[in-house]
Structure 1
């Protein structure tokens, strides 16, 4: 790629990242330091200031195997082609390996079901473009190659991807629709929680529409305009209507307004996580340019609670 007059004087790592040649600034710096990025044929440092007319070339290294092992985990695959996969993630499935969850993740499962994937960023792994919390269910798109990952990452960054959720919250939300525009950041008192009063909060916007009201609960359709960690859970908690079953953000006695019937109480006690479901996902396919939309029905535990609340 040739440097234009508009980019003259920019840092090399920023130039490479912003042009979509790699996935992030950190990966850009990693590639530059390891000689995968050249300027007019020469290796430069990340802080090098590019000049108009210089030719910047990025060579993605050959994919190498990860230590993450394929595992024969059943997946509800909603759509699959040579570029991307859309799965309906069940409750309890962690998206990718991390401390305390080195195996049994969605990434392990994808490596088993799609062994011929091209790989992402020089590693034989699926491209996780967005995430769902362990106990949030629903639709998740995953890239199978670098080109798709870059384009999907761009679409998420530019807010061209539509993600709609169903959430059952405690209490009867009075407004038929609303917008929650509160910054979200790490809770300084509890690193496992997020909050709207964080000194490092990032802009976060959630739109909601009431689908149905029950005694002591409300079913919401939620449209995310940003994608912060725990965003819906934090915003509904701030609204005073935490998600039913949420073990982190639900206040004590939040269920006091619910009907005290034995079947309903039993169903809620038996929940293993929040009743939050990624119901609809819409994006432009990176290879075909076609706008595609997928939907996933509510999981059984969610629909059971809703049916028990219905008159």
Structure 2
């Protein structure tokens, strides 16, 4: 069992909201600048997010992509494979989602499903599992050799904090969808997942495709830390954007134009006006 994965050493206190929001805003501006470099240079960035259930991967991805141009940044979260996909080479369905020039692709769980949930829950055979551990380094080496910048993050959270987050989700109708039956079962399989993670690191934490561990007892800290690490791991430079000139609106060229009657159109009710009235009465 991985002791470092179960208990975060010397867990710091939660990050203050004001300090967090200020630094997050600064880092997000840096991410936008980095994306401009990626687009201008035709770079290909592939980021993997793996880790314990409820470790904060999804919220970190949301903060990373919040202000990025969605035409050049994609999040890939694949569902369970179809019967046809199960008959393919394991890595095959992931290949089509890899980045093209000028793109950042973030995998919210990736091909490492085979080394984690599939291994622990018995969704793959021993032969398939061991074949994956042999092929994953070669597959990733091909990506890196072809010029793709591959970054792999592992989000680590203690068993106590994971359980607390599960209970919070179960009691919140807005977030209950995040809690799957397999998430719940992971509580009873903590040591199995620890052994699977240790074996995965031993086989795939290699030069050129190292794992970066993000301690996630405090989600605010983990978001700041992972964005800061990503900005330092990609050797980007500032690219001055082309100036954008907004032309003056020209005078109407067709004086005879008349807007058609709008009385038959359907409009959304202005329910927001009630909010303003309520504020005035407070």
Superposition TM-score, scaled by structure 1 size = 0.21
Q: Greater RCO between the two (CA within 8 Å, min separation 6)?
A: 2
Larger Rg computed on CA atoms: 2
Higher helix share: 2
Superposition TM-score, scaled by structure 2 size = 0.22
